[in-house]
Amino acid sequence: MRKLIGTICILVCITVVVGFSRGWFSVNTRTESDSNTKVELSIDRNKIGQDTEQIKQSVKELSNKVQSSTAPAEGTP
């Protein structure tokens, strides 16, 4: 159970780091009065969708390249 929780925590940390570096998430702060500060987390779903589609396309191209390079040449038994 400890390993599962540890693995989940690591995956969440990786997602947060990648998300901030790719522009999926942003944090804004705003001071409204002397004692109130608002913190806002924004999630750019369109950017996440675009990046997901790019990854899918890259994986598909890589898969096709690997399949074509491992296919037996014509005339080989």
pLDDT in tens, 21-37: 999 999 999 888 878 88
At 58, is the secondary structure helix, strand, or coil?
helix
Query: Rounded to an integer, what distance in angstroms lies between the CA atom of residue 26 and that of residue 19?
Result: 9
Whether the predicted model's global pTM rises above the 0.85 cut: no
Closest CA to 15 of 26, 25, 27: 25
Query: Rounded to an integer, what distance in angstroms lies between the CA atom of residue 12 and that of residue 18?
Result: 10
- Asked if the model's pLDDT at residue 68 lies above 90, the reply is no
